[in-house]
Homo-oligomer: A and B are copies of this chain.
Amino acid sequence: MADAREPEALVSAADSGDPRALARLISLVENGSPQLRSVMKLIAPRTGRAWVIGLTGAPGVGKSTVTAALVRAYRSRGVRVGVVAVDPTSPFTGGALLGDRVRMQDHATDSGVFIRSMASRGHLGGLSWAAPQALRILDAAGFDVVMIETVGVGQAEVEIASLADTTLVIVAPGMGDSVQAAKAGILEIADVFVVNKSDRPSAQEAIRDLRAMLAMARYDDGAWKPPIVPASAMHGEGIDELAGRLDAHAEWLAGSGERDRRRLARAREEISAMAVAAMRERIGALPGEARLEELATLVAAGKLDPYTAADQLISS
């Protein structure tokens, strides 16, 4: 099913809204294709227009439902929306998930929506290498809003925050107490909180916990204070309010100069990740697998420490 079109043809087809060309371009990212280099060169001048919203939260909070509800809300305003769901665990699972196929069906005939899950196979730096390139592709294809959704908490969450203009953290009642939320560092990355499944009896408790945590944070004058929006995405409740809060954040970003700061930081991260990936490739190319195997055997046997082994690997 590979699309044999050349980068130029793919990029121009994606530009005129061909979803197959878009899907193919994202696959190039998944596979770490050498063609990406030309793709990124071609699209660079058309990037930087999309508003990037990162969505994150623990499994079970209803991330996909919230994403779907926001897609509907944006479509009803005529805004074009691209969604990339990144699965940071894919070194093992590999390939796309069924979820996006299900979600895509709602918009099968709507060229204003593109939804795609993407595996970051752990090669070349994983998520931090792959996700920015997927963003660039959707951005260049003219989507007004690009949502990037990730599974889980932890490193992936932090990386999503470093990519997004606006980071939406989704929590749900009964999904762990406030100490665990603090552990996950969500306070520091969230621009907007949604307490999903707000029809559940313990929703008030979750809102109270979040409020208590936010009350402990200090904000400078003019700083953005993350609002907490109760919602039941399944029933479409609270989604208009949520979209409104997200808009307010976008306005604040533009007015405060923070958007430019975030985008500059994003470009910095992106270049660093690419530089590390390039160096990692050199490690693979340099002494070859055999040398690494030899050093690993010595380290596993306690005959060598890993620092010395790494030095020998790089300099060999």
* A interface residues (Cβ-Cβ under 8 A, vs B): 36-37, 40-41, 43-48, 58-60, 87-93, 97-99, 122, 126-127, 132-133, 136, 150-158, 174-177, 179-185, 187-189, 260, 263-268, 270-272, 274-280, 283, 292-293, 295-297, 299-311, 313-314
Are B44 and A302 interface neighbours, CB within 8 A? Answer: yes
Are A41 and B307 interface neighbours, CB within 8 A? Answer: yes
Count identical subunits in the complex: 2
Q: Which of B127, B151, B264, B270 contacts A297 (CB 8 A)?
A: B264
Q: Which of B47, B185, B314 contacts A92 (CB 8 A)?
A: B185
Are B188 and A275 interface neighbours, CB within 8 A? Answer: no
Q: Taking CB as reference atom, which chain B residue is nearest A298? A: B267
Are B44 and A271 interface neighbours, CB within 8 A? Answer: no
- Alpha-carbon distance between A306 and B36 when the two chains are bound, in angstroms: 11
Residues of B with C-beta under 8 A to A270: 296, 299, 306
Are A60 and B175 interface neighbours, CB within 8 A? Answer: yes
Residues of B with C-beta under 8 A to A92: 158, 185, 187-189
Given the known inter-chain contacts A267-B306, A276-B279, please indicate yes or no for A93 contacting B185, CB distance below 8 A: yes
- Alpha-carbon distance between A179 and B175 when the two chains are bound, in angstroms: 17
Report whether over half of chain A's contact residues are helix, strand or loop; otherwise say mixed: helix
Are A276 and B276 interface neighbours, CB within 8 A? Answer: yes
Are A90 and B185 interface neighbours, CB within 8 A? Answer: yes
- Alpha-carbon distance between A46 and B302 when the two chains are bound, in angstroms: 7
Residues of B with C-beta under 8 A to A36: 307
Q: Closest CB-CB distance, A207 to chain B, in whole Å? A: 17
Complex A-B: 29 CB contacts under 8 Å: A44-B305, A45-B302, A47-B302, A48-B300, A60-B180, A89-B183, A92-B158, A92-B185, A92-B188, A93-B183, A99-B179, A122-B155, A132-B306, A136-B306, A151-B153, A151-B154, A151-B180, A151-B184, A152-B184, A155-B156, A267-B299, A267-B306, A267-B309, A270-B306, A272-B313, A275-B314, A276-B279, A276-B283, A278-B311
Q: Closest CB-CB distance, A288 to chain B, in whole Å? A: 13
Q: Taking CB as reference atom, which chain B residue is nearest A280? A: B276
Q: Closest CB-CB distance, A217 to chain B, in whole Å? A: 12
- Alpha-carbon distance between A265 and B296 when the two chains are bound, in angstroms: 8
Are B89 and A300 interface neighbours, CB within 8 A? Answer: no
Are A59 and B184 interface neighbours, CB within 8 A? Answer: yes
Residues of B with C-beta under 8 A to A296: 264-265, 267-268, 270-271
- Alpha-carbon distance between A34 and B45 when the two chains are bound, in angstroms: 42
Residues of B with C-beta under 8 A to A185: 89-93
Q: Which of B154, B305, B313 contacts A154 (CB 8 A)?
A: B154
